[in-house]
Structure 1
Amino acid sequence: MRQAKNLYLLIFTIFVFTSCEKTTTPEWPDQTNETKPWTRWWWHGSAVDKANLTANLEELANAGFGGVEITPIYDVKGDEDKSISFQSAEWMEMFEHTLKESKRLGLGVDLANASGWPFGGPWIDAEQACKNVQYKKYHLKSGEQLKEKIEFIQPSLVRAVNKRVDISEVKFPISGNTNLQELALDQVRFEKPLPLQTLMAFSAQGETIDFTNFVNANGILDWTAPEGNWDLYAVFQGWHGKMVERAGTGGEGNVIDHFSEEATKIFLSDFDKNVKDIDLTGLRAFFNDSYEVDDASGDANWTPLFFEEFEKRRGYDLKTKLPALFGDMDEETNQRVLCDFRETISDLLLEKFTIVWADWAESYNTIIRNQAHGSPAAILDLYEASHIPETEGTDPMRIKMATSAGHTSGKPLIACEAATWLNEHFLSTLADVKQNADNYLRNGVNHIVYHGTPYSPLGEKWPGWMFYAAVHFAPTNTWWNDLKVVNEYITNCQSFMQNATPDNDILLYFPIYDAWTERDRNVLPHFGGHSEELTAEISNKLLTQGYSFDYISDKQIRKLSYANGKIQAAGASYKTIVIPDCSTIPLETLKHLFNLAENGAIIIFENEIPSKNPGLNKFEIRQAEAQKLIDDLKFTPEENYQSAASGSGKILVGKNVPNLLNAAGIYSEELTQQGLWYNRVERKDGTCYFISNWSEKAVNQWVTLQKSGKEAVLFNAMDKTFGKARTQKNSDGQTQVYLQLKPGETIILQWYSTKVKAEAYPLWEQSALKTELNGGWEVTFEKGGPTIPAPYKTDELKSWTKQSDELQKFSGTASYKTSFEIAENNDNDYLLDLGEVHESAEVWLNGKKTGTLIGPVFQIVLQKEALQEQNILELKVTNLMANRIIDMDKNKVNYKKFYNINFAAHERENRGADGNFTAAHWEPLPSGLLGPVTISKLTQK
């Protein structure tokens, strides 16, 4: 009896605890205008008016955009009278109207501080313009006097966009030219003597004399060389001459000296002066495009206070080491002084430009969105100093420069300039756009900003105003209506990726001092422009093998701590730091790494621990201390690596980094081995995976994950459905999830710490038997141009360009209608496969929209509840802009009417005789529904 009672109590207890176990009802995260994609909004010549600003903004809001970044750009030929001078009173009135209308529509607004890029304008004179260093070397023997003047005559130089300009056509100062739109200047140097910065004499015996103040006004040095051989170095301040690229009316002029706080503040003061009576409510951020000063002739590498700034930071007078700076001493001294020079430039770009600009923005209760890539500086530190770091391009290493700094410093938003030059003009598909967005999302971006959307008056003839280097995210693009589904997809993804903490295992040191120490043809190396050679091999190896990492700089390493079993940064925690094979590392960085190990961290060195310290000042002392730190380690040989205990942590050294990571208990994600892209973050509900399949094969299998929870839910960001994931443990006790992903398909997997209340996410088995829908198609053209073609009927699906000459030049949307039967009492869902489609398709079944397909696979599930015995299928297929453009170019219809670059071709073979893009030699592209269209039964696994 007692046993029965105890059993009853046990059952009752289990029932109570089971019934009280917490469950979660999954739901999509909240969405804001920041979870939606934004777009760069080009204002050509700022030729805007209030009515068209409102109309353009309404188009963007209706298409699912969350905000705009206003960037005034070059003018439109024929509309010069409508251009509004940048930051004038009238311009500010248009800007204020935009802010008010954007607020009404729920759109955010950012503003580029310059018209075009980089920062500069007509109010920047020669004193604040970017500069370079020039030098002359003289040689004297004992008893000789210098016969020539101490002077450097800067030769003239002029570079313009897509044209030849003679220097005689350009006035000094630049602001005195009234035809800057027509000139389209990229770089200008006038022939003139350059100001002397210093004159130093160096004897073969090591004596140094400063003659800077002994050169008279005529450039004459009255000095007779004493005994010995003497080299004299005269350093001059050059005028680099970079002009603001692509500027519109009122924005043309000199680019600023980015290493001068005074120049930065003078540049920003023009906005201060003109914005006084403007309501800036709704302005989120100011924007800076990538550095791009040195994409001209030579580096901008000087500032008037450089000698003072150098000595303050590096601890010695650079004037006394000029022979080393210019490569005339022993190689080690040359390298050390050059490294100090480059590090000082980096410090100035951070402190005198980025931080000054960010502080200025905060004075307006706004933030900065900054593209630091391409800078001659430690760009991880520049990105950290930015409220919203922004990247561009497709190279994961370049993207991760911005996302890494955002992750380690805890930035809530990390942006990208998306879809720039995905293909030649008019050839990019929505599938291309999605793939580009997925590449950013998998590498840590969570704030997509398209590049971009031109403001265009509603009355402008098709295709409207356009930008020279972009996928055209404009209402005149044929796929504009279908773009909304891509925007909704990105919104759904970013609602997960925002308000999340990055969950990368590894910090990968970026050994910038190796680059600063190595002399090459450029005085300044630039970073983040392309795949970085410094870490390319190890970065690619980690990514391709499925290891997740963020880059880390020296300054950032010194802020790290160790707690709760993890290396703690301000914005995330990590399992280890990997120091790739390098030769040079600062003592302070090495000491902090060893201190982290003392406190429990595992630090991994590829190949060996570098002991060389950068820079010249007291380097022997620093290097000896670094060597002692290394020598004090007691290494134990392990299989293929060495291990040394350091306090409660470890230091591992070996050639094979993946082996070292495994020894540290860090393992790769199998997702990558299956050809899948992924990004892993931590959200309040648990670990979350963004998973996208851009391989050429479908994935239909169990996949092992490194992180898990109690139960998982799969969220389909394209159609906004979700359901409980099927999970299991493999024989090694690892968590697996079953994934079905077609090429181009994405899923978001969210783990929960509790059970979830949701239907199972459907896993499909497709019947091998397919039924082709070939009972005849009615084709009707709904919208597009140049004219709407007549409808036709066909039994054969083929490109509509083969139907008639008229259809070869048509770009737009056609409706394809057919009917099909389903057996009575049907109890199956069906897979509809459209076969080959050019390029997107809305699917309508029995008068109701089922979905929009953008490829590369055009398949959709037809649910049994929506099927009838007799069914009407309608497919609204949209092709690209290209065919209509081909016809316009063949017939010389001019839509390329812009100043400056005026519609450059992406590929050389698409340049016409005038140097501009042309599609006149293209053949019409396949368009419409090519099929075959089939249906097949589906059953759930």
Structure 2
Amino acid sequence: MRPLQFFILILSLLGTMLRGSAEEPGRLERDFKDPPVTLKSIPLWHMNGELTTKEIVSQLESSRNVSGFGGVAVLPVRHTKPEYLTNDYFARYGDILETSKRLGMSVVFYDDIGFPSGSAGGRMKEQFPKDVSYRLEKKEWDVEGPCDWTQPIPEGTFMGGVALNLDSWQRLDLIDAASDGRISWQVPAGEWKLMIFTCVNAGDRVDYLNPDSVDRFLSLTYDQYYKRFPNHFGSTITMSFFDDISIRRWGGTEWTPRFNERFEKRYGYNPVTLYPALWHDIGPDTASARIALHDFRADLLAEGYPRQVNEWCSAHRIRSTGHAAGQYHPQPSFLTGDQIKFYRHCDIPMIDSIHYYGHGRPGFKLTSSASYSYDRPLTAVEIYGNYKAFDKQTLYRSGMELFARGANFFLPHGMWYDSETVRIPPLISHFSDEIGPELGPYNDWSARSSLLLRGGRHVSDIGVLYPVATMQAYAQFGKEEQKHPGLRKPETTDFNRLSDLLTGDIRRDFTFLHPHILDEKCRVDGATLHLENKINFEQYSVLIIPAVNVIHWSNLEKIRKFYEAGGVVIGTTELPTQSAESGHDDDVRETIAAIFSTASANEHGYAKRTNEAGGTSYFVPSLDKHGSALAAALQDAMPVADVRFGQDAPQLEHLPQSGSQPPANKKHTGMLSYIHKIKDDHNLYYFANSTDGPIELDVVLRGQLSLQSWNPHDGHITDVDHATVIDHGVACTKVRLKMKPVQSVFFVEKR
């Protein structure tokens, strides 16, 4: 999307908020007290029944006037009648658009039937069979040479043949031995593993990795809607929504026939001799080979479906949003390819809060960090889907935790056209006896919170390196693990735990920094690391390297520069010994030795080292239950926190990430969390108490501030009593924070 187009689109969405703060004095306060419909949540509306004009009008009027929703995301399912994409179906869709226009509601264009996106209701495979998904297959033989060896090339697109010497790790490209559908080779002396790789057309959804295939999918869906309703795009229809994009099928081996061609165009060499590393240990180059292939596949995914959708949306006056499958899990290689890079070409990165309260919670900051890194003012959430245990308190408990993690736009899951047949709970509509009466207050609460949290600049002193290279180096095809593919990770992996500790226990906010963001958008300026964005620029005093055994050499060079300029670097659990690029392992080990102390941990649980410029490193060998050693290191490094909580703040019990079922013996609990943003040069702080107990404690905010309390539950705005205190020579503001169970509040700097 061109910068001007993106700016115009975002202004259209945030117009109410921007007018209130910059153009009309008092408008922000009025909108907070009485939120406009444009700020309210937009539920997914499952069209599971026989659609009629009368019922469509009735349900839309109730969703606005009774439930207080701001629009609907229309989700066709296999039970939708008339049949998806028929003329009668489009006639009923037209009823939805015209009624929504009359009511001042928005429509989110859900881009397929059911989920995941990419099938066009079966039309993709029927009309474009060569443009549906592929998997990478391998056949192999253990051969002792010398001997003559010949094998037919299996069916599919031939990707290459490789000979791997099991003694020397030498790898040979067998392309010259391939002809007439066979590979015939004179095997030299030694033990060899001979492999043939093919790409096999096997799916029913679009090849997400191929932009040309995605364009053909768009012709079956997006173009069909636009052809019939052009005047509603950019007015009633405000955005598109894609769902559950992933490369998870077939054990994560989803591939594309043009992989080698596109890899060689970018990097100048054919990657086929790297392929054996996807299944096997190939010696010293194993990690770098896997990273090269997985990282490029992640690029193809990001530049495939999300980018093509984004470009279509830009050309048709709407924004793109959507999410990948399992975008919160620690291992991205079999799901999104890369949990941050996936959103590089998406207007509104989206979190999927699904299955149960607490599920995926440690990984939600990955998506909001993508928004921060790519300077996106909105982070959406598909929220509450498949929550089997659900009550009206969960509306707020889950929602406020997501607001504190950077979300600012909710799409509840959801409304059901036939409310007697809810196939995925819960029912969130006026038809629900328990939830229905709460939806009006809920939508006012979420609208007020969204009003303040959209746009502006996120404030964080801490950057955390996203350890995607270590995850990619571990990702191996064909490895039998009785785990969800998103949970297949090195045993020392700690960045999800680190996320929970920093958010809900230590309570020092942070941003995950992707390796390419650290390289391309972060600048060292003395003891500060600057994320250089036009709007969401951030300034980090501390950089944390979570447990990794592999790191990009370019990242480590910048980290050393930061440390030598006076910056603070903290390593946790495991320090890297390998480079993500071949040939730099020794450089990595030498640089780590130059930054970190080899001494044992002190009585506080960390080993510390300083340099002449004031740079300081800490190694925290263990993240204990409540992160006491990490908290001590942060306190030593940065004694004046941006936000500091007093005694008696509740502690969070971190539960390891699980699949779609909740933990067997324990229950996720609430937390006290916060987010700090600056909008129009004014500070605002959002505090969320999702626990079952009241909160009353002091909070110290860095800087001298005159504050008001803005209560999103009832719209009341009151002055806050405060005192100026000096903390390590820095003037700070101390306020008393009082919250009931499952309650949130804003402290907003007076205007």
Is 1:686 aligned to 2:640, yes or no? no
Match of 2:84 in 1: 85
Match of 2:107 in 1: 109
Match of 1:670 in 2: 645
With 484-493 and 232-241 compared, the bigger mean Cα shift is at 232-241
CA positional deviation for 1:304: 0.3
- Greater helix fraction, Structure 1 or Structure 2: 2
Is 1:128 aligned to 2:78, yes or no? no
Is 1:366 aligned to 2:321, yes or no? no
Over 3 Å counting, the alpha-carbon distance change for 1:526 and 1:257 in structure 2 is farther
CA distance in 1, matches of 2:112, 2:171: 48
- What SS does the aligned partner of 2:199 have? strand
Choose which of 357, 360, 366 in structure 2 pairs with 1:401: 366
Gaps of 5+ in 2: 1-24, 327-334, 621-628, 651-671
CA positional deviation for 1:362: 0.9
Q: Does structure 2 conserve the Cα–Cα contact (< 8 Å) formed by 1:70 and 1:112?
A: yes
Instruction: State the identity %.
Output: 18
CA positional deviation for 1:537: 3.2
Over 3 Å counting, the alpha-carbon distance change for 1:273 and 1:692 in structure 2 is closer
Match of 2:501 in 1: 541
Choose which of 302, 306, 320 in structure 2 pairs with 1:354: 306
Q: Does structure 2 conserve the Cα–Cα contact (< 8 Å) formed by 1:504 and 1:548?
A: yes
CA distance in 2, matches of 1:388, 1:262: 23
Choose which of 413, 420, 425 in structure 1 pairs with 2:378: 413
Over 3 Å counting, the alpha-carbon distance change for 1:535 and 1:227 in structure 2 is closer
Match of 1:659 in 2: 632
Is 1:263 aligned to 2:266, yes or no? no
Please tell me whether Structure 1 or Structure 2 has the larger radius of gyration of its CA atoms.
1
Aligned residues: 651
CA positional deviation for 1:613: 0.9
Is 1:436 aligned to 2:398, yes or no? yes
CA distance in 1, matches of 2:539, 2:336: 28
Letter aligned with residue 556 of structure 2: L
CA positional deviation for 1:89: 3.9
Match of 1:809 in 2: none
After superposition, give the CA deviation of every residue in 1:202-252 in whole Å (9 maximum; x if it has no partner).
567857352577443xx55566656666543121223443xxxxxxxxxxx
Is 1:450 aligned to 2:448, yes or no? no
Aligned positions of 1:398-797 closer than 5 A: 398-424=363-389, 428-456=390-418, 463-464=419-420, 466-479=421-434, 480-520=436-476, 533-543=493-503, 544-558=505-519, 559-562=521-524, 567-570=530-533, 571-575=536-540, 576-596=542-562, 601-606=567-572, 610=576, 612-615=578-581, 619-620=582-583, 622-626=584-588, 641-645=607-611, 650-655=615-620, 656-665=629-638, 666-667=640-641, 669-670=644-645, 673-675=648-650, 676-684=672-680, 686-699=682-695, 701-707=696-702, 709-729=704-724, 734-752=732-750
CA positional deviation for 1:444: 1.4
Is 1:94 aligned to 2:89, yes or no? no
Choose which of 379, 386, 389 in structure 1 pairs with 2:346: 386
Q: Does structure 2 conserve the Cα–Cα contact (< 8 Å) formed by 1:240 and 1:300?
A: no
CA distance in 2, matches of 1:541, 1:509: 15
Letter aligned with residue 454 of structure 1: W
Q: Does structure 2 conserve the Cα–Cα contact (< 8 Å) formed by 1:685 and 1:752?
A: no
After superposition, give the CA deviation of every residue in 1:105-163 in whole Å (9 maximum; x if it has no partner).
1212211212122222323233112221111123455575557x5255xxxxxxxxxxx
Q: Does structure 2 conserve the Cα–Cα contact (< 8 Å) formed by 1:259 and 1:348?
A: yes
CA distance in 2, matches of 1:672, 1:371: 39
Over 3 Å counting, the alpha-carbon distance change for 1:728 and 1:308 in structure 2 is same
Match of 2:255 in 1: 302
- What SS does the aligned partner of 1:399 have? helix
After superposition, give the CA deviation of every residue in 1:470-507 in whole Å (9 maximum; x if it has no partner).
32112221142332111112112222222432222211
Q: Does structure 2 conserve the Cα–Cα contact (< 8 Å) formed by 1:398 and 1:532?
A: no
After superposition, give the CA deviation of every residue in 1:758-802 in whole Å (9 maximum; x if it has no partner).
xxxxxxxxxxxxxxxxxxxxxxxxxxxxxxxxxxxxxxxxxxxxx
CA distance in 2, matches of 1:695, 1:672: 16
After superposition, give the CA deviation of every residue in 1:53-79 in whole Å (9 maximum; x if it has no partner).
222221111121112212211216xxx
CA distance in 2, matches of 1:406, 1:532: 27
CA distance in 1, matches of 2:637, 2:281: 46
Over 3 Å counting, the alpha-carbon distance change for 1:361 and 1:336 in structure 2 is same
Letter aligned with residue 610 of structure 1: P
Q: Does structure 2 conserve the Cα–Cα contact (< 8 Å) formed by 1:678 and 1:689?
A: yes
Aligned positions of 1:212-251 closer than 5 A: 214-216=178-180, 225=187, 231-241=193-203
CA positional deviation for 1:651: 4.5
CA distance in 2, matches of 1:52, 1:257: 37
Match of 2:18 in 1: none
Letter aligned with residue 256 of structure 2: T
Gaps of 5+ in 1: 1-22, 77-81, 153-192, 242-253, 457-462, 754-941
After superposition, give the CA deviation of every residue in 1:390-415 in whole Å (9 maximum; x if it has no partner).
11223432211111111233222111
Match of 2:669 in 1: none
CA distance in 1, matches of 2:165, 2:688: 65
CA distance in 1, matches of 2:160, 2:515: 33
CA positional deviation for 1:644: 4.3
CA distance in 1, matches of 2:26, 2:306: 44
- What SS does the aligned partner of 1:276 have? helix
Q: Does structure 2 conserve the Cα–Cα contact (< 8 Å) formed by 1:678 and 1:691?
A: yes
Letter aligned with residue 288 of structure 2: R
- What SS does the aligned partner of 2:617 have? strand
Alignment TM-score, normalising by the size of structure 1 = 0.63
